[in-house]
Amino acid sequence: MVATAAASSFFPITSSPDSIDSKNKKLGNGSTNLGGIKLKPSASSGSLQVKANAQAPPKINGTTVVMTPVEGFTSEDAASSLPPRTFINQLPDWSMLLAAITTIFLAAEKQWMMLDWKPRRPDMLIDPFGIGRIVQDGLVFRQNFSIRSYEIGADRTASIETLMNHLQETAINHCKSAGLLGDGFGATPGMCKKNLIWVVTRMQVVVDRYPTWGDVVQVDTWVSASGKNGMRRDWLVSNSKTGEILTRASSVWVMMNKLTRRLSKIPEEVRGEIEPHFMNSDPVVAEDNRKLVKLDDSTAQYVRKGLTPRWSDLDVNQHVNNVKYVGWILESTPLGIVESHELCSMTLEYRRECGRDSVLQSLTAVSGVGNLGNMGEIECQHLLQLEEGSEIVRGRTQWRPKNAKSFGKMDQVPAQSA
């Protein structure tokens, strides 16, 4: 009964006079008992008189409803009192539905705002979404990275390319967080106006220990002046849980015009943008001033030819990403060294860029204290060049026996010098 009443309130149904007359004909002149209701034709006007048996007052939702009998209610009156049957007046009352939906959304929003997103365990990521922050008087940028399963190699440790990608990512994010990122990739607004970009000329990396799958590393980076027209960027990579220093790196960057592909001095406008962010500190890695030798076919012991860039190797400046050069240099490293030793130090000098149509070759010469026949440290000289002879990168790597103790320690971000 309640369902019928609710349905009728949303979808009113009217009856035409013809239908009422047809029902009267079916009922006939005699009295008919329909569930306790007797219908009898009226003697005066032919109207339908309704007489019900005495029953208890009906109840709807626990409330007694008093029903008043209607006398002299004719079919003509019913047809004239009800509005005409149209599509509009048959639509339900949507205000009730909208009110219910609004209530549900408000309750859900309240529950969402009451959620506490703070980590429940101390070993969880402090920076779970990889969004770094500025620390130490606004001069140091800090970002956390979790070592993923696809970033480790056969030794179950992160590859050197993974570490280099972390360094590059924090450098870009540092510029963005400091408000120095213009329309270019790592370029300030003043650099964008003059079509200038940063290019790395020298990189030194020292790896004390490689992180493993599941480790969370904390990368700190800051910038300093390097001569009159250069900038030095340092990185310090540590275990976010223990504080152990894992990797140290230092690099030198200069500006290049992306249209002419020539090096450029730092304009005064750009210098005013970047100098407030310089930290007056010493390099985190002591500079290795030893000259990097140039290899050729007669001095190189191992050569890998036919290296070509893929589309995914290019950056937004349309030249090969500098991290890719590291992988190409290691292509010619003897497999025996890679299997028994791990890379612990690397010095690179970037001579020129290469594009997607370049064909390169990687040359390596083994030197230093150790060699392939013993388990001492090994030093290798490297050259990455175009097949026609133009140099791309010169390099020197040092390798230590696997599981050997780390060499060199540095346990904190350097404080700014007076």
Residue 389 structure tokens: 């002879």
Residue 229 structure tokens: 């027209």
Instruction: Please state, in angstroms and rounded to a whole number, the distance separating the CA atoms of residues 176 and 221.
Output: 13
- Annotated active-site residue in 24, 165, 195, 317: 317
Cβ 368 vs Cβ 222: under 8 Å? no
Helix intervals (H) in 242-332: 268-274, 322-331
Q: Give me the amino acid identity at 139.
A: L
Cβ 229 vs Cβ 265: under 8 Å? yes
Helix 160-177 vs helix 322-331: crossing angle, to nearest 10 = 170
- 10 Å CB burial of residue 370 (0-12, 13-18, 19+) is buried
Helix intervals (H) in 240-392: 268-274, 322-331, 335-340
> What's the Cα-to-Cα distance from 392 to each of 260, 263, 353, rounded to whole Å?
18, 16, 6
Instruction: Please state, in angstroms and rounded to a whole number, the distance separating the CA atoms of residues 14 and 41.
Output: 22
- Annotated active-site residue in 175, 344, 354, 380: 354
Residue 248 structure tokens: 């140290």
Cβ 141 vs Cβ 180: under 8 Å? no
- Annotated active-site residue in 166, 174, 277, 319: 319
With CA atoms as reference, report the closest residue to 207 among 153, 249, 149.
Answer: 249
The per-residue DSSP string of 244-267 comes to -EEEEEEEEEEEEETTT--EEPPP
- Segments of 76-195 assigned E as strands: 133-135, 140-146
Question: Is 354 designated active site?
Answer: yes
Q: Which residues are catalytic?
A: 317, 319, 354
